[in-house]
Structure 1
Amino acid sequence: MNSQCKVSKLAPAGFVAALVAVGFGIGTRACAAEGEETYAVVLIDRLEYQANAGDQVLLWDAQAWFGGDYNKFWVKTEGEYLFDGDVFEGAEFQGLYSRAISRFWDLQAGVRHDVAPDPSRTFGVIGVQGLAPYWFEVDAAAFIDDDGKVEARIEAEYDLLVTQRLIAQPRAELNFALQDVEEFGIGSGLSSIELGLRLRYEIRREVAPYVGVSWNRAIGKTADLARAEGETVDSLSLVTGIRLWF
């Protein structure tokens, strides 16, 4: 007997939704596994304007998944656009297969492609995503490019309810590299750190504007490379943005 699968309908969400549509369609019916219901979700976690003493930046961080409880296909994208320079400082896209390995953790593997900065780079990806103890959301991945250069990234965030609608979210991101990649201004070891705090108000669960602060700093040899190019090694930004979920 054939099992019946359900797919939630996705609303348009810019280029993120376009990628999802290309990957597996919107509103289609499919089965990830016998007897497993199939859903689709788009989360724009951060779509924000950042302002500091030196730059004005548009930042995005979004992900979408399609599948069931055990098997999913993920699309992730993040990047920054500099208004002053009229240029994308970074723009990456990932396509990943995800398999549940425990109640709270998924193992993910796939491909990442950076279209900015120039020249573009392509990586193989392997990582984990899920909930750590005390409900910290964690996304950790290793990336290897076609030259054998290895990088890694760990992101963690936590939702702290101030009221039923007002939520404070501390966030941390650490970036690492096993080798120097000087053409991209990356030194080996811990290369950069980002710490942030955002306060969002959920008008409804799917729509939440927010304000906050974000601090970024280059570390070690990455900081040395930045200084050699006359760039600052740290910045403190005020941010305002919106979080959307479909």
Structure 2
Amino acid sequence: MNRFAFAAAAMLATAPAMAQEAANTSTDEMTDPKVQEAPPPAPDAMPADMSAMGTMGEPAAAPVAVAGEAVTTLHDLKPQPGWPSPVADDAPYSLVLLDLLEYRESAGAGSLRWDGFGWFGGDYNRIWVKSEGTQSLGSGGGGEGEAQLLYGRLITPFFDLQAGARFATRWGNGPDLSRGYAVLGVQGLSPYRFEIESALFLSTKGQISGRLTASYDQLLTQRLILQPRIDTSFALQKDEAFGVGSGLNDIEVGLRARYEIRREFAPYIGITHRRSFGSTRRILQAEGERTRQTSIVAGVRVWF
């Protein structure tokens, strides 16, 4: 018992001295200039996978282009065998639009009228086929029609330049007549969404004439559409065989309302008024034809 008491007393007596020695040793290490924190590693000594990292482990900034120096972002960008074209902009497409297929009722005999076109090709080059005409349902059964074969080239984002040939014919009282023409025209969508179709014609007899058609689709609803339209023609020389005089020949204005049962099929009704001018008016009067006429029309617009 006395031994344990003596050992405990000895430990208590030496504890303050041991604590003082430890404190002195720590103070000496902090104040000793030879004992300092090791410096950070140099950038060159950093691991390769860390040298490309920015602050706080974020990716470093992208390389900055300097004049005269190439900046490589990816390796081996050369086209490989069998790779497809990066932009598929040369695929062929086609469209057939019968814009007018209508019956016309007026003070005289009723008539049928058609006006349509089709094209095949890509975004820049197309082959166009156009046709229009009228057929009288009266006793004489006269009428006129034409067909065009054109090459079209895109010259602006919304307009094609067209060139080709036109064949026109006229039948009814007297012998049937036909004539060929060279064609140069422009067709497309103008600002404010007006559909424009214009053309100049040079006949095999050297006669120059022209035509302009403009229309606009006003959406009353998603399916009910109101379309005002104007057609006009002129000639620099008269062609009495086809009832054409020099100057402004005629103007026709129309208003049609169509309902698109499907986008590709839309019946319509409307009204048109046509009036002839100048020497063309005098030629028609000599033939016993009307020089002004208002008609109620009903028809269908189809495309595919």
Aligned-pair Cα RMSD in Å: 1.6
Give yes or no for contact 2:243–2:280 (8 Å, CA) kept in 1: yes
**Given the two structures, how large is their TM-score scaled by the length of structure 2?**
0.69
Please give the secondary structure, in 2, of the residue aligned with 1:37. Answer: coil
**Cα distance in 2 for residues equivalent to 1:183 and 1:52:** 25
Deviation at 1:197, TM superposition (A): 0.4
- CA distance 1:35–1:195, shift in 2 (3 Å): closer
Decide whether aligned partners of structure 1 residues 58 and 40 sit closer, same or farther in structure 2, where only a CA change above 3 A counts: same
Q: Which has the higher contact order (CA 8 A, sep 6+)?
A: 1
Mark the structure with the bigger radius of gyration.
Answer: 2
Structure-2 separation of matches of 1:82 and 1:236 = 15
Aligned partners of 1:88, 1:230: CA distance in 2, in Å? Answer: 13
Aligned to 2:106: 52
Are residues 1:36 and 2:90 paired? Answer: yes
Aligned position for 2:236: 178
The structure in which a higher percent of residues are strand is 1
Which residue, 49, 74, 97 being the options, matches 2:128?
74
Instruction: Show CA shifts across 1:171-197 (max 9, x none).
Output: 001100000111222110100111000
Given candidates 178, 203, 212, the residue that maps to 2:261 is 203
Paired-residue identity, %: 49
Matches within 5 A, 1:81-96: 81-85=135-139, 87-96=141-150
> 2: CA distance between counterparts of 1:231 and 1:86?
12
1:145 aligned residue:
203
Whole-angstrom distance in 1 between the partners of 2:101 and 2:258: 12
Structure 1 portions without partners, runs of 5+:
5-33
Deviation above 2 Å: which 4+ runs of structure 1? 1-4, 85-88, 115-118, 228-231
Aligned pair partner of 2:245 in 165, 187, 198: 187
State the TM-score, normalized to the length of structure 1. 0.85
* Conserved? CA contact 2:170–2:242, under 8 Å: no
AA aligned opposite 1:90: E
The reply on whether 1:136 has 2:190 as its aligned counterpart is no
> CA deviation digits over 1:124-175, x for unaligned, max 9?
0000001111110000000011000011000000000011100000000110
Distance 1:86 1:2 in 2: 65
Stretch moving more, 40-49 or 79-88? 79-88
More helix by percentage:
2
* Structure 2 unaligned regions, length at least 5: 1-81
Name the SS of the counterpart of 1:228 in structure 2: helix
Query: What is the CA–CA distance in structure 2 between the aligned matches of 1:3 and 1:82, rounded to whole Å?
Result: 55
> 1:11 is matched with which residue?
none
